[in-house]
Structure 1
């Protein structure tokens, strides 16, 4: 869905299969923004975000903006995302304009 949403924008979308791959990709190359699905196999989005934040601290790197994507719309889930180190939280289903607004907000 995000591929379609971003197809006519200047943004490049790189997709990964799980949380471990997300952490590895962030370590390999700089990103302006990470859209982090909370429910991923092997390492969930919360754990992946915590791992990225720890690595950034250890390396003295500026934190990448991470927006959590979750099927849960409760304030508690948003709080969990923020506590894990995410900058924002979007609840699925995510509309195109909502995604574009969130991206614009962090630029």
Structure 2
């Protein structure tokens, strides 16, 4: 299975309302992150831990995206393990993942 196919599966899960909002956020982020990885050279990502803000930053540059549109991903990475995370960012992360999909598909 390719990275793109896995990302598509995560997108599918991200819209599944039977999953918790936090799980849907995880899926949306992972989809967008996989699309970001697809946009940058694999030699760059070999030694980075997952997730890494550098992947998001470099992908934005490679895809000519404004850094502001990457904020949902940055926020997710900052708050991923926060006890107060309640899934309210699922829509923003889904929009970001779809933007990444579209940018990579060009």
Normalising by structure 1, report the TM-score.
0.28
More strand by share: 1
